[in-house]
Every structure is written in structure tokens, then in C-alpha cells.
Amino acid sequence: MDESDNRTFWEYLAYVSEHQSPLDFVLVWDHIDRFLWGTLLTLEITVIALILGGILSVPMAIARAYQHRWLNFPIWCFTYFFRGTPLLVQTYLVYYGLAQFDAVRESFLWDPILSSAWWCALIVFTLNTAGYTTEFLRGSIATTPSGEIEAARACGMSAWTTIRRIVLPSAFRRALPAYSNEVIFMLHSSVVLSTITLQDLLGAGRWLNGRYYLAYEGFVTAMLFYMVLVFIISRGFKFWEKHWLGHLRQREIEDEPVTLKAG
Amino acid sequence: MSIKKLLFMVVAFTLASAAAQAAPLRVGVEGAYPPFSWKEPDGTLKGFDIDVAYEVCKRLQRECVLVEQEWDGMIPALLSRKFDTIIASMSITEERKKKIDFTEKYYDTPPGIVAKKNAGFSQSNMAGKRLGVQRATTHQCTAEKMFPGAELVLYASQEEVFQDLASGRLDAQISDSLQASEGFLKQDMGKGFAFLGDMISDPGCQGVGAGFAVRKKDTLLRDAMSAIIKGMRDDGTYKILNDKYFEIDVYGK
């Protein structure tokens, strides 16, 4: 009897996967835990950066929208810098650039914060998303329908109460579609993590490629994971948009056209 | 022009260029691995690997086209015909031989670990230490096998590993001993660092020295280049190139 007949199904599958399949899926499956850990790191940094960046962006957007005398220009510079330069360059600048200076390496910030790739990434990602979010939130605040503000004044609301109770809730809702893009872009940009030694989702793929000298397996697997994540995020935002922007949807036209009778 | 005519011309051109020995040899190199290969500020490539590559082209009587490639994409790039051979200190290992083929070795030096002098730990005591290694090297394999307790930190190039070792982000790094000594320990950046313990012997991961890589079907090119390595050893050219960069004979036994 041929020796190959004694193989278990699993051994057979591993053989097909390595020698006949264009993609060695058994190898990927053997290391799927690395991809799951990678997903966790990708989500961890992306989500924390989005939350912190989002919180930072609200006061900055208000200052920009109302063109605050002292704050408007510095905040404009800040957003211009972070929106005008690639995230990869910003990350390299903080991770490799700052480490060149003895003063930085000897400062109190070095040991827990700047020496760690995780913190460097979080700082850069937070400021980057804050830059983008500030600008479209500013646009959203600035385009608040004047009628809503007049109505608030007429009810006797102060300027701050108007912002808090009328302008911001309305602006947040209208900024929601733009924000869903920002969240997805941020997830995509998080691949920068793997260039500064962090084992994110792409890092796991590059580890697999590097360890077994492969070209596709690691990337394709990482890609599938990203697609699933983006699918979940975009479904979530669809749901929220339906919920929060319901009042802006066009009403459905009734079946019977209304005919006006000449009186 | 008719399609037929066009097709004929394409076929004729392909055959003609395959036949012509003058077709340039495209060599994949890295350029971030001094003293084997590095890039001058003006963009020219220098180093032992580069000199060897030019010598090989000269003896094959083909023009040399050096193609720079990031390390972890080397083998995929060779397979997708971005270049015809890799001359970039690539170790000959069984795992790589599943994908590509190698000439005989052209040098063989052992890997070593570099850490701060008086680091306070030893090779047998690496658990929890941050150990830097270049991704997709034989050293990644060795590090995972021999130091499973260490926290492995992966980099795209060896220069980045040294940068982070010097800045204190890493406790240690593992790489080719000769490259570490020439490219780091003897440089300003490497002051205060030294080899940690003995050189490492790990034939399973490290293979039998570095060779030129070719696609599996290119046996003619492989054999021609193997003969060239032998020729260079015999006529003293190897020694001239070797002595330009190293104090010892890097060919090994």
C-alpha cells in the first residue's frame, strides 16, 4: 500500500495547502492567533486614538467655527500640519526622529512614554485624527441653519446654552457621515503601526511572510481581516445614521398623488 | 500594423533578447547592510556584496543592473522577475530552498548577540528581554527557536535595529556577527556595546553560509555563478575584495 494512503485527512489537507494550493491556508490557520492579537492591537490603538482625538477636537472646532480671536490661528496651524503631512512621516518623526536627541532620551518623558512604540503611535494617531475631526466638525458647526439659532435666541437661551443644546447636537448629527469615513480611514492608516515594530494586523501578516518567506499569504489574510472590520464599522454607522439623521431623510411620497381642486 | 505582424515582432524580439548574451544581469541588492551593502549620500551603492556583484557580471560578460529591494520582499521579487539573482548576503537554508535555488556559498560568518557592556543578563537568561531582529532573516528563525522567552521586536532593516538598540529601546539584538561588528560596534553609535557571550551555532536556521539566489529553473545561471565564486577564490580576486572590507577571511572553512 502506498504510504500516502495512511495519511490522516488533516495531513492530506496540509500537503495540498503547501504544495498545490496557491495560498497555504493551513499555515495561515496554524498562526491565526497572531492575526487575532494583531486585530486587537489595531483596534486598541485606533479606538483609543479616535476617542481622545474626538474629545480634543470638540473645543478646537468650536473655537475655529466662531473664529476665536486668539485660538483660531494656532488651531488652524495645528490642523494644517496634521492634515498636510503624511501620517507615516509624522510617526517616523516621533518614533525615530525624537530618539536621536540626547535631551529627549534623558528627559522624564523617555522612559514610560517616548521609548515605547505603542505610546508614540497613540500620540501621533490621536493628534492626527483630532486634526481631521476638528476641520469637518468646524464645517458642520458653521453650517448650522440660522433658523435653529434664531429660534434658540428667541427662547431666551444664552450663547453657551445655544451651543450646548442646539448647535452641537445638530452639528454632530450632520457630521456623522463624514466621521464614518474618518473612522475607516483611521483603521486603514493604522497599518503604519507595523513600520515601527508593533505587531498589528499587518504586522502579523508581515511576520508570517518573513518567517516562511512568502509573498501573499500574510497580506491576503490581513486584508480579509480589515475587510471584515470595515464591514462591521460601516454597518454600525449606517444604523446610527438611520437613528440620528432620521429627521433629515426625505419623506416617502404617498401612493396617491394629491390633486388640487379648483375651488 | 496588423495584429499578426505585431505579434511576430514581439516574439522575435523576445527570442532575440533571450539569445543575446549582452542582456543585462539584474541583481537584487539591499543597500542597508553595511559593510556588505550600503548607500552613499549621492545614491551610489557600495560594499562587499556590491563589489562581488560587479565582479560576477564582469565574468559573465553581462552588464550589471543593481535593483534595490527591501529585505522582506527579496524572495517574492526574485520570483516575480524583478531581477535575475539576489546578491545580498542571503543565507542558504532549507526553508528558502523550498522557494528558490542557491549557488555555492560565497561567505559564511556566524550570528551573534549584541547588548550593552555589562548588560546584567546572559544568553541563557534572555526571558522578558526586548530582542531586536530584522524581519525575514535567518536570525528571526534563530531568535524564535533559541530565545522563546524573549520579547521579539521585528524591523524592516538592520539599520533600524541598531538605531533602536543605541537609543535604548532594545535590550539586545541578534544579527550576523561580522556585520554587527563592522556596521555597529566599530561605529560611533556602537560605543558602550559588545557581543553578549559566544557566537551562536544554529545550522537548522542559519544554513550553510550566504549564496547568490536564483529562480529554481535558472540552473545554468546558478552553475555559472558557482563556478565564478570558485574562480574568484582560486585567482586571488576574492582576497582583494575581502581585504578591502574585513580583517579576517569571511569565506569560512
Is B95 an interface residue toward A (CB < 8 Å)? yes
Over residues B168-195, the mean pLDDT reads 93
Going by the DSSP 8-state scheme, the letter that residue A254 receives in this structure is P
Contacts of B155 in chain A (CB under 8 A): 197
The pLDDT, as a whole number, for residue B163 is 92
**Do the domains spanning B24-108+208-245 and B111-205 agree at the CATH topology level?**
yes
The answer to whether the Cβ–Cβ distance between A99 and B79 falls below 8 Å is no
Helix (H) or strand (E) holding B65: strand B64-68
User: Which residues of B, range 117-156, sit inside 8 Å of A by Cβ?
Assistant: 135-137, 140-141, 144, 153-156
* Contacts with B153 from chain A: Cβ below 8 Å: 197
Predicted pLDDT at A102 = 83
Which one, of B177, B168, B183, lies nearest residue B196 by Cα? B177
A99/B167 Cβ within 8 A: yes
Q: b/e map of A117-149 (b: 16 or more CB within 10 Å)?
A: bebbbbbbbbbbbbbbbbbbbbbbbeebeeeeb
CATH level 3 topology of B24-108+208-245? D-Maltodextrin-Binding Protein; domain 2 (3.40.190)
Tell me the mean pLDDT in the region B160-182.
Answer: 93
Task: Give the whole-angstrom CA distance, residue A75 versus residue A99.
Answer: 27
Inter-chain contacts counted by CB atoms under 8 A, chains A and B: 53
Q: Where are the domains of chain B?
A: 24-108+208-245, 111-205
Q: Find the CB nearest A215 among B76, B140, B163.
A: B76
- Asked if the A34-246 domain carries CATH number 1.10.540.10, the reply is no
pLDDT of residue A257: 61
If one compares B139 and A262, the residue with the highest pLDDT of the two is B139
CB contact under 8 Å between A207 and B135, yes or no, is yes
pLDDT at B14 over 60: no
Instruction: Tell me the chain B residues in contact with residue A200 when contact means C-beta distances shorter than 8 Å.
Output: none
Q: Taking 80 as the threshold, does the pLDDT of residue B20 lie above it? A: no
Per-residue model confidence as pLDDT tens digits over A31-42? 999 999 999 999
- Interface contact flag, B79 A105, Cβ < 8 Å: no
Q: Which of A24, A39, A31 has the alpha carbon at shortest distance from A224? A: A39
The per-residue pLDDT for A103 is 84
Is the CB of B160 less than 8 angstroms away from the CB of A96?
A: yes
Closest-approach residue (CA) in chain B for A103 = B167
Predicted local distance difference test score (pLDDT) of residue A1: 45
Domain ranges in chain A are 34-246
The hierarchical CATH code for the domain B111-205 is 3.40.190.10
- pLDDT exceeds cutoff 70 at B1: no
Per-block mean pLDDT, blocks of 10 residues, chain A (263 long): 68 83 87 96 97 97 94 96 96 90 84 89 97 96 93 93 93 93 95 93 91 86 96 95 82 65 61
pLDDT per position as a tens digit, B85-110: 999 999 999 889 988 999 999 999 99
